[in-house]
Structures are given as C-alpha cells and as structure tokens.
Amino acid sequence: MNYRCWRLILKKITVGALLALLCSTQVGAFEINDSDLQKKGYAGEAEAGVNLTTGNSHTSSGHGRLVMDFFYGKWRHNTDFEANYAKDTGEVSAERYYASYKVNRDWSKNRYTYGLVTYENDRFNGLDNTITTSLGYGYRAFHSDTQTMDLEVGPGWRHNESSDYRDEGIFHVGMDYTWNITSNASFHQTLSSDIGQYNTMSRSETSLTSSIWGPLALKTSVTLTHQTNPSSDDDDDVPEHLDTVTAVTLLYNF
C-alpha cells in the first residue's frame, strides 16, 4: 500500500475520531438558568484565540474574553470583558477594549427589568472611551428546553470622548436568542441598537459553539458594529460605517 493510500486512511480515521468526540460530549456553552445559577453561586466562561503569520508577511492577532454571572439578592448580575488586538508588518491595525455590567430582575415568568452600563475604546472605529447606560423593560418572548429569546427596550445616555465630542440621549433596543441545536452544539445571536439623534450604534454577534472535551469548547463568532455617523480624530481618515471581527477561539467554562 503506497503513501497516498495510508494518508487517505489516516485522514478518514482522524475525521471520524473528531466527529465521535464531538458527538459524545456536551456543550459547555455559557447558558445557565436562574435556579441552577443560584445553587452554584456563580458561573463563567473564558475564551482566547491567537493567530500568527510569518514569512512573506508578518501578522499577529489576538482575541480574549471573560464573562461572569452571579446572583446577589434577587438580582442577576453579568460582567463581560473583551479585548481584540492585531498587528500587520509591525503596525497596529486593530485595538479594541470592551466591558459591560448588567443587572436584571424577574417580576414574572416572562417579564423583567434591567440596568446596563457598557464601556468601549476602539482607536480605529471612532469610539474613544465611549460609555453607554440604559434602564428598561425586558420580555421573554419564548422559553423552552432548547430555545430562548429575550427582547429589551429602554432609554439611556451615551458619552464619547472623540474629536466630535457629543453626549446624547439614546433609546436602546436589544434581542438575545439561544438555540441548543444538539447536546454538543449551540447557536447564539445577539442584536442591539442604541438609537441617537447624532449617531446610532448597532451591534450583532453570531456564534456557534461545539464541545471538545469536558469544560473545553470551540467557538466561532462574527461580530458586526455599525455606526450611522462614526467619529474620527483625523478628518482625512474617517472610519467605515461597518466594522467586522471574526474569531475562532478556545472556550473554557467554569
């Protein structure tokens, strides 16, 4: 048997082993209901991904995120910290830092109130120490063993320290959808829009998570950020309206 045949056989065995591994484990995606979270005390996930290219081109990029959930009193608290960095041939081409803190309390099976504070600093997207706050009403459109969807609306305020410095009131709308496709794969979609008179910022994050082993999972995500009137410190280099971040990361649940 020649080398090509052995290579084909090994390839099929490897693919088959990976499929068997994925089908035999369960997703460790960060989806935990209120009762389980109260019993556990806290839950979280950490993800990281790095890409390096050498040779004819020299590029490097990194993505990291840490999410924590916990209960204090009757309120559920969520913290989210995220960083993205990229360098191309010695020059920084992307640098973004994001953090959020959210609390919400259920008043019935389908209705809740929330408070949200976010911070974002993106030197290539006109977001210079941007702080957004919002208070509002949430409605759980549906909830089943495999799918959930939450809808949110509420007023807020945005502060941005760019050259086009301008504070303004906003109206926040949001959607959070989760679908546990199988016992080892889940789909997650979030949409939000902070509507202002001067600038409207909309975000979409689409992700697919597949379990690898125990608390480890592989996550593929695409994040879109759109601004109707992006700001810039350089009049000759105005940011694009749409900014896209694609990431493949290793996820650890705890």
The per-residue pLDDT for 5 is 42
Q: Which residues contact 232 (CB under 8 A, 6 or more apart)?
A: 126, 162, 163, 164, 238, 239
Residue 236's pLDDT band, with cuts at 50, 70 and 90, is low
Q: Which pTM does this prediction carry?
A: 0.79
Domain architecture of the chain: domains with CATH: 3-253 (2.40.160.40)
Mean pLDDT lowest among 26-40, 50-64, 197-211, 230-244: 26-40
Task: Kindly tell me the burial class for residue 145, based on how many C-beta atoms sit within 10 Å of its own C-beta (0-12, 13-18, 19 or more).
Answer: exposed
Task: Give residue-wise pLDDT tens across range 54-113.
Answer: 665 578 888 899 999 998 878 889 999 999 888 887 788 778 899 999 999 999 989 999
Q: Which is nearest to 82 in space by CA: 212, 175, 190, 193?
A: 190
- 133, pLDDT greater than 60: yes
Mean pLDDT, the chain, whole residue set? 81
Average pLDDT for 144-162: 92
Q: Residue 142 and residue 150: Cα distance in Å, rounded? A: 8
Query: What is the length of the chain?
Result: 254
Mean pLDDT lowest among 13-17, 177-181, 219-223, 233-237: 13-17
For residue 168, give both structure tokens.
Answer: 């303004």
Residue 144's pLDDT band, with cuts at 50, 70 and 90, is confident
Average pLDDT for 198-215: 92
The per-residue pLDDT for 79 is 94
